Amino acid sequence: MGIKYPRLKTGSSTCIETPVSSIQSEDRAVRKKTRTVILLIVSGIVFLNLGLFINAGAQSDLKNAVAVGDANDVVKGPIGIDVSDLTDVEALGFLSPEEVSPWGRLFADETERIFLAEGDTVYVAFDKGHNVKPGDLFTVYKSSDELDHPLSGRDLGYVISFLGRVVLKREVKPDLYKAKIVESYSPMRVGDTLFPFTWISPCVQLSNPEWKRLKESEGFKIPVVAAKGLKKIMGQFSVVYMNHGLKHGIRRGNFFEIVAKAEADRPKEPTLPDQALGYLLVLESRPNTSTGIVITARREFSSGAMLKAIDFNKELRDVIIHYGEPVPKGSDTEDNPLKVLKRLESKTDPKPDLPEALRLLSTMPKCQTQ
């Protein structure tokens, strides 16, 4: 028997006769093509998201990567300590030996509130003689009264507290600008003073002090003289100020041990060693003052606690020699101590028994310095 072909009719007209097997074959081909297109679209979406995920991971890994080799290091160049989770480096404030001269003041605002915050529109009046323009950033601040040195009682200076940041939008008339508050660290109000904003990186490369200058000033020890917010009691993550800076050999990235002088129970007893309270990292150094953050503290302390500088060159060389590893050049331990430390940890098995300061630094988040 031959194959029977059905007749498809529309009204009285006769349609073209088509084999059933041909119709089914074409239907399967269409379904197959549809599935293929859907599969390609889904695959594309998956691979796109996977690529974005991998790229984001790579970016994150690159930011926090720690070098482990020589020529094959993931991060080329110096690496540092990432303090972004410990404090807001844009709100550190600082200690000033002299009164700070403002560039201008918050003149008025478009709200009826007493205190101003992020997102508010304000007007800034500048003193004559300053070259400013729309787009410029300014830090709003307040100054403390003059403070006394906690140990000597002499005039110490002023703690400058950062309240927030504004960006200039447009000039309303000479020396008067409309501005917007883009950051708020503490409540602001009309009349608060401001000066140009200075950016500080949260990625801090470790460094040694200038030993000659430091020795000439205090014999390797300097005091904590004040704290952010004029707090009397300090502890872990406190931002503190020292009345020693670049002129005294203190640089950004210096690492100090916080010590307290031990007191004998009886006057004639032998002097006990200093008590170690914790560690501090210098975040900013100015000509005569510096600012640091307390990385760790065994107990709370107050102004007058002493800081003892840590010599990374000596600490690292002693450990490297102890474990029989090749001693790197002095410039390596001076310019990139964290990379040398990581390399030592990767090559020594079991892991080296590090001094407390180096062990603490080895566990902190890392970043690539600019």
Q: Using alpha carbons, select from 232, 216, 233, 168 the residue that is nearest to residue 196.
A: 168
- Would 12 be classed as within a structural domain? no
Domain co-membership, 296 together with 241: yes
> Does residue 62 lie in a domain region?
no
Cα end-to-end span (Å), the chain: 86
For residue 152, CA distances in Å to 45, 137, 157, 173 come to 69, 38, 13, 49
**101 and 140 assigned to the same domain:** yes
Residues 348 and 335 in one domain: yes
Domain shared by 237 and 284, yes or no:
yes
Confirm if 106 and 141 have CB atoms less than 8 A apart: no
pTM for the model: 0.77
Q: Which residue from 189, 109, 98 is spatially nearest to 141, judged by alpha carbons?
A: 189
pLDDT tens for 289-316 read 999 999 999 999 999 999 999 998 889 8
- Pair (179, 218) in one structural domain: no
Q: Does any domain span residue 11?
A: no
Please tell me whether residues 222 and 256 are part of one structural domain. Answer: yes
In this predicted structure, what is the pLDDT of residue 182? 97
Asked if residue 157 is part of any domain, the answer here is yes
Same domain for 105 and 188, yes or no, is yes
**Domain CATH for 252:** 2.40.10.410
Q: Kindly state the tokens that stand for 229.
A: 């917010």
Count, residues in the chain = 370
* Confidence at residue 13, expressed as pLDDT on a 0 to 100 scale: 38
Q: Which of 163, 196, 229 is the last residue of a domain?
A: 196
Alpha-helical runs (H) found in the chain: 20-64, 211-218, 312-322, 330-335, 337-347, 356-363
Same domain assignment for residues 302 and 317: no
Is the residue at 204 inside a domain? Answer: no
Q: Domain range holding 215?
A: 209-310
Question: Smallest Cα–Cα separation from 234: which of 318, 302, 325?
Answer: 302
- Radius of gyration (C-alpha) of the chain in whole angstroms: 33
Q: Are residues 214 and 285 in the same domain?
A: yes
pLDDT of amino acid 36: 53
- What pLDDT digit, counting tens, does each position of 247-283 carry? 999 999 999 999 987 665 556 666 667 788 999 999 9
Kindly state whether residue 72 falls inside one of the protein's structural domains: yes
256 and 339, same domain (yes or no): no
Domain count across the chain = 4
Domain termination residue (choose one: 168, 196, 224): 196
Query: What type of residue is 213?
Result: R
How many other CB atoms sit within 10 Å of the CB of residue 97?
A: 14
Q: Are residues 226 and 294 in the same domain?
A: yes
Identify whether 160 is part of a domain. yes
Verify that 301 and 319 share a domain, yes or no: no
CB proximity list for 226: less than 8 A, separation 6 or greater:
95, 147, 150, 156, 159, 240, 241, 303
Determine the Cα angle at 125 with ends 121 and 127, to 5°: 155
pLDDT along the chain (370 residues), means of 10: 41 39 47 52 44 39 34 61 96 98 93 89 95 97 97 96 98 96 96 97 94 77 95 97 96 95 64 84 98 96 94 89 82 81 87 92 89
- Which one of 295, 310, 325 terminates a domain? 310
pLDDT at residue 195, as a whole number: 98
Token duo for residue 130:
């300053």
**Residue 3 is assigned to a structural domain of this protein:** no
> Who's near 100: CB < 8 A, 6+ residues apart?
141, 143, 158, 160, 195
